[in-house]
Every structure is written in structure tokens, then in C-alpha cells.
Amino acid sequence: MHDFNFKNNELYCESVKVGAVAKKVGTPFYLYSHKTLVEHFQKIRDAFAPVNPLVCFAMKSNGNAAILKTLIDQGAGIDIVSGGELKKAIRVGANPKTICFASAGKTQEEIALAVKKGILLFNVESKEELNAINTIAKKLRKVVQVALRINPDVDAATHKSITTGTLKNKFGIDLKTAHEILKNAKKYPSLEINGLHVHLGSQITSVKPYVFALKKIIQFLEILCADSICLRYLDIGGGFGISYEKKAITSKQFAKALLPLLKMTGLKIILEPGRFIAGPSGIFVTKVLYNKNNGVKKFVIVDGGMNDFARPSLYNAYHEIIPTKKTAAKKIKVDVVGPICESGDFFAKDRPLSTVKKNALLAIMRAGAYGSTMASNYNIRPKVAEVMVKGNKFEIIKSRETFNDLIRGEKIPRFLK
């Protein structure tokens, strides 16, 4: 469910006509619904309410300040993966005590910053990283809480680039090593190693990998218990899938399968959903430039490209595409492509789409997660504007980049002058 709906054959975001936003800000742009965003945060929080989880929004899915503020105001914590994300989360008003830091490659500087800011939890991915955090915390005279990111060796049955919980992936610590670390926790006097973290991958549309991983974790907790090792946190990561092409399972269905297992652990539960909250809340709006028919295929060429919204070219991801004006025009099969000099620059292939003329607007649906955050300046294209709607109001929440933004920092070396 989302708040992008047709009224009188025109696509609206809440009470704002998408076409009216295009007139004001130009194309292409991202458009977010405040209401959809809040509702998706509440959906996941409410579904898991029986274990009263801390829901840390994974800001790598969408790090716009207005998106973060909306969710922080709802009580969200933040899941970060870099020092930049940490700075931004705090700048927008996140309480450090609600921030979890995951990354297989945290730098010294990032660790020191997070220790100084007093974040809730480091999700640690290797022994060497434990040593590094311990040393830095000691130097700063702090004791920090750490969860071990477990690699449960579960195939999340999602796209290979976004599955993370098998031993072929770089992520996490195998159970044997984790056990050894916990038994020798005294080796790290500046750490309180008191949690487990697991993140299986992204766009997971079945409860099975979660259930499998949780059962493994519960077994592991029993082994730890026998060694008198008691923990405080269980962070089960994110990954909850959404309905791109097929209908995804709901937060309630996820919760129904997982709650009994989560309760069994008796630990404070942390969730890190990103896509589930941000994905349905945003669309990418692009304008038709040309129609082209080469005798074999028909193409709709639009002004947005893979640099603006990469998921189709990166993951071959399906995104529903709808003209913002409903017409009676019959549907024909087309490729929707951008202006970038790559054949991988497409939003849809062989997609039945109502005939659209030059200047028509197309909405690429469920583009709120891993859209703007993955954008690049490839082909020297400015990053697009982002707009948020609340009720009948809308405001730019990120201005379109200018040419000066694109060349900032570049210079010709003296030896070329």
C-alpha cells in the first residue's frame, strides 16, 4: 500500500498532483510521500510490538535528511554503515544511543568517531576489528557495547549481490569463531561483547531464511548459556522484501513467524529495515523525450538514466512504470531507456505500456529505497531533485545539482598549465 493514486485520471502523491510538482521542479526527480513513509515505519514497529523492538532505519536505503527526520520523529533509531552516515544521522537529530554501526570495513577514524559519539552498538565482523575497536576505546577511556555479526550460512534466496548470510560472502563471523571470542571476552577489556547481529540480505520475500537463522542462533545461545555467557541484544538486521513485481509477504506475516523465536531468546530485539520503509514511499518521475521504432523493437527514451536510478540495470530489478496521466491508449511492448551511453541503461524491457507521447511523465514506482542513495554523476549528469509531499503541501528536500556542483574540487595540475 502507498499513497500514489489516481484521481480523475491523474497520478497524485497524497493530495498533490505529480504533474504539478514536475512543473515546479523540472524532471527527473524523486517524489516521496510522508504518509507512506510513516505508515511503513509503524507497520513494522507494530507488527513486532510484542517484543518492543528498537527499529533502526537502515539509512543506506535513503539518507535524505527529511526522510531521516520523519522517521526519527516517529521514534526510529538508525542503522549506519559509515562515518558519513553517522555524522549525518546525528546532524539530523538521531540520539546516538539508538545508532547501530555495521560494516565489514570500519576505518580507525570511523570507529573513533562512533566511540566518541557514544553509539548504542558496534556490529563487529572480524576478530581484527574487535582488536581495533578495543584499542581505540581504551585510548578514549570508554567501554563500548559490541554485537558479533554472525554469519549463519543461510542462503536468503534473493539476488546474488544482495545476499549476505552465506560463508561465501564477506560478511560476519562464523559460529565457531564467535564462540571462541565470547569465551575469551576478557581479552577485550574496553568492550562489552553482549549481542549478536545477523543480516541475511535484502529483498527477502520468505520467512524461511529468517526462521532458519533464528533457530541456529537460539541453539547457539543455549551453547553460550552452558558456558555462562549471557547476552543482551539480538539484532536481526533488515532485508524485509516489498512488492516490486510479485506481492510480497506483509510485516504481520514476518512477525507471526519470527515473534515466537524472538521471544524465546529473551533478548532486547533490534530490527534494521531499510527497503521496507523507504521503498514504497518514493517514486522516480521522468519525462518522455522520444519514441523510437527500429523495426525490431520499440523504445521510449526518457530523461532519467541509470545514473539516477540504478536498480534495473544493477540488479535487473523490476519496477512498475505508469504514465502519470491515465489514457485509453492501447498498451504496446516497449523498452523504457535513458540517455546514458550504455545498453544497460534501461528501466524496463519488453514492457507493455500505454502509448506515451513526447513530454508525458512516467512514474517508476517503489523507487524510494536504493534510488537516490545509489545515484552517480556518470555522464556528467547532475543528481536530480528530491521532493517530499505531506497532505496537500510539497517541498524540495534536495535541490537538483548544478554544473558547479559537478566540477567542484576538480583542477588542472600546474604541470599541465
Catalytic residues: 341
- 209 touches ligand PLP by CB under 6 A: no
- 202 touches ligand PLP by CB under 6 A: yes
- 156 touches ligand PLP by CB under 6 A: no
- 282 touches ligand PLP by CB under 6 A: no
Q: Cis ω on the peptide bond leading into residue 152 (within 30° of 0)? A: no
67 versus 302: smaller Cβ distance to ligand PLP: 67
Binding test (CB under 6 A) with ligand PLP, winner from 238, 312, 323, 371 = 238
CA pair distance 194, 76, nearest whole angstrom: 22
Q: What is the CA radius of gyration of the chain?
A: 23
- 43 touches ligand PLP by CB under 6 A: no
Residue 202 C-beta: closest distance to ligand PLP, Å:
3
- 213 touches ligand PLP by CB under 6 A: no
Residue 185 C-beta: closest distance to ligand PLP, Å:
22
In contact, 185 and 191? CB cutoff 8 Å? yes
Stretch that binds ligand PLP, among 24-32, 56-64, 126-134, 336-344 (CB under 6 A): 56-64
CA pair distance 228, 1, nearest whole angstrom: 46
195 versus 239: smaller Cβ distance to ligand PLP: 239
Residue 373 C-beta: closest distance to ligand PLP, Å:
10
Stretch that binds ligand PLP, among 20-28, 238-246, 285-293, 297-305 (CB under 6 A): 238-246
Rounded to 5 degrees, what angle do the CA atoms 307, 312, 316 make? 135
Q: What is the dihedral of CA 399, 401, 402, 406, to 10 degrees?
A: 160
Residues numbered 313 to 352 that lie near ligand PLP (CB under 6 A) are none
Binding test (CB under 6 A) with ligand PLP, winner from 13, 21, 99, 102 = 102
Q: What is the largest CA-CA distance in the chain?
A: 72
- 199 touches ligand PLP by CB under 6 A: yes
CB neighbours of 165 closer than 8 A, spacing ≥ 6? 151, 152, 153, 154, 155, 156, 171, 172, 198, 199, 200, 201, 209, 213
Q: Within 10 A of 221 (CB to CB), how many other CB atoms are there?
A: 19
Backbone dihedral angles phi then psi of residue 150, each to the nearest 5 degrees: -85, 140
Ramachandran quadrant class, 153 (left: phi over 0; alpha: psi -120 to 50; beta: rest): left
Nearest to 233 by CA among 187, 278, 198, 269: 269
- The site that binds ligand PLP (CB under 6 A) totals a number of residues, namely 18
- 172 touches ligand PLP by CB under 6 A: no
59 versus 385: smaller Cβ distance to ligand PLP: 59
103's grid cell: 560494516
Residue 68 C-beta: closest distance to ligand PLP, Å:
14
Strand partners for 79: 58, 100
Task: Evaluate the CA torsion angle 271, 276, 281, 284 in order and state its sign.
Answer: positive
199 versus 287: smaller Cβ distance to ligand PLP: 199
- 195 touches ligand PLP by CB under 6 A: no
374 versus 396: smaller Cβ distance to ligand PLP: 374
Residue 62 C-beta: closest distance to ligand PLP, Å:
9
Residues numbered 363 to 402 that lie near ligand PLP (CB under 6 A) are 369
Q: Which stretches of the chain bind ligand PLP, using CB under 6 A?
A: 58, 60-61, 79, 81, 102, 199, 202, 237-240, 272-276, 369
